[in-house]
Amino acid sequence: MSSSKYLSKDDFIEVTNQMRKFEILMGFVLITILCVGYLHFRTNVAAQMSPVTETDAQSRIRAFFDTLTSQPVSTDAYQSAYQKMLPGSPPQDIGVIVQMTEELFKERNRWQYELLDTKPVGNDLMLIRYLTKSETHPVIWYFTFYRSPFGTRTWNCIGIRFDTNLDSLFQESWPK
């Protein structure tokens, strides 16, 4: 570069080229920072979701079904199984679903169960569907799990229901 007060055309082109190279370099640095930040964010979100995941909920559901499908089963065993799955539920609610379960299992001696699917809704709610099968017909079970964003962050079962609406299994969307 010359020592004059103004840049020559060649000096101006050289400075402009250096600035472009610097801008390109800064662009790569910025993109790298953004990518690393995004990957770090994704990893942290996945880590928050994974400590207590579907596997814990599913093992609790399997223990629940093991109790329900073991022979012979008493009303007390049904109540105990539901109280373990739904701690803090009012006794009258437990009593109603126990009666429905006793009616369901009354005339069927052998049962098997299998996981159908798990549907997360956001980060702290999930619906898990199971299918129980007897000699005569299948039944769909719905388990709703929630974990509070505050405190221990453990999955808690907040709802259990079952039905025989098998058409819902062949539809794209979940039943409401």
- pLDDT tens figures, 110-140: 788 999 999 999 989 999 999 999 888 899 9
What is the distance between the alpha carbons of residues 61 and 35, in angstroms, rounded to a whole number?
39
Domain shared by 18 and 102, yes or no: no
At 130, give phi and psi (nearest 5°): -125, 155
Cis status of the peptide bond prior to 72, with omega within 30 of 0:
yes
Domain shared by 104 and 78, yes or no: yes
Angle among Cα 98, 101, 104 to the nearest 5 degrees reads 155
Q: For the chain, what is the mean pLDDT?
A: 79
- pLDDT tens figures, 51-98: 445 578 889 999 998 888 776 778 888 888 999 999 888 888 899 999
Answer for the pair 102, 118: CB distance below 8 angstroms, yes or no: no
Structural domain span for residue 32: 9-50
Domain shared by 62 and 147, yes or no: yes
Domain shared by 66 and 117, yes or no: yes
Q: Provide the domain count of the chain.
A: 2
Domain shared by 74 and 17, yes or no: no
CATH of the domain at 68: 3.10.450.50
Residue 2 lies in a domain: no
- pLDDT tens figures, 151-175: 888 889 999 999 988 888 887 565 5
Instruction: Determine the pLDDT at residue 74.
Output: 82
